[in-house]
Amino acid sequence: MSLTDDALTYIETIKGFMDPDEGRALYDMALDVLSGFPQALSVEIGSYCGKSTVYIGEAVRQCGGLLVSVDHHYGSEENQPGEAYFDPDLADPETGGMSSLALFRRTIRGANLEDVVVPVIAPSRMASRVVRGDFGFLFIDGGHSMPAALDDYRLWATRVMTGGVLAIHDVFPNPEDGGRPPYEIYKLALASGFFEEIKVVKSLRFLRRL
């Protein structure tokens, strides 16, 4: 089953940095993996305004599961005022920074995914202490500093169940193409002996838990 034209049209209206080819790959992989794990929990680390959440959430809905979306919604380093990826529409006058929470909730409501997506409004490290169990699908697209990326990998990837899939976004082998932390945790996953790479779509890497 593929994404409907209505879903694709809606996704195009959502703010975010997810390439359409990568987004469709997320949907396809989540649907494929979760069809073998009925009602297995899925987790997304880093949702921003919800574009990737809708891609994954549509697959999760079809498989009867839930998607836990972890994000403090204050943005990554590059999303702050004065930085390259700051969006004035998301400026938060109360903090002087940014907040994507209101737009994220509007996105999920507009996609009719409020009965599928469970938002956890907290940093990755804190959320890892309250989200329990193993996962069929894990998507890491959180903070791109080295400490943040290491937290996302070390605290969450070990909980992907055997046969489940870990997806990592913004993996750039060439330093000129992007930041290093997602690439570094991708290499850690491969070197661990617990994951094998099964698919590459642009900067998106899919690894199956052995």
Q: H or E stretch including 104?
A: helix 101-110
Domain of 182, CATH number, reads 3.40.50.150
pLDDT at 178 over 90: no
Q: What is the pLDDT of residue 110?
A: 97
The answer to which of 74-83, 154-163, 187-196, 199-208 has the lowest mean pLDDT is 74-83
Question: Is 73 assigned a catalytic role?
Answer: no
**CA distances (Å), origin 202, targets 2, 38, 154, 179:** 20, 29, 24, 15
Distance CA 189, CA 200 (A): 15
List, for residues 149-166, the tens digit of each pLDDT value.
999 999 999 999 999 999
Q: Which domain holds residue 191?
A: 5-209
**Count of the separate structural domains present in the chain:** 1
Average pLDDT over residues 172-176: 88
Chain CA centroid to CA 69, Å:
8
Nearest to 61 by CA among 22, 16, 108: 108
Q: What is the pLDDT of residue 39?
A: 82
pLDDT interval class at 33 (50, 70, 90): very high
Q: Check residues 177 and 108 and name the one with the higher pLDDT.
A: 108
Q: What is the pLDDT of residue 161?
A: 97
Nearest to 142 by CA among 160, 130, 125: 125
What are 199's two structure tokens? 């698919």
Distance CA 197, CA 161 (A): 15
Q: Check residues 59 and 78 and name the one with the higher pLDDT.
A: 59
Q: What is the pLDDT of residue 151?
A: 96
| DSSP symbol at 205 | E
Choosing from 72, 73, 144, 169, the catalytic residue is 144
Share of the chain above pLDDT 70, in %: 100
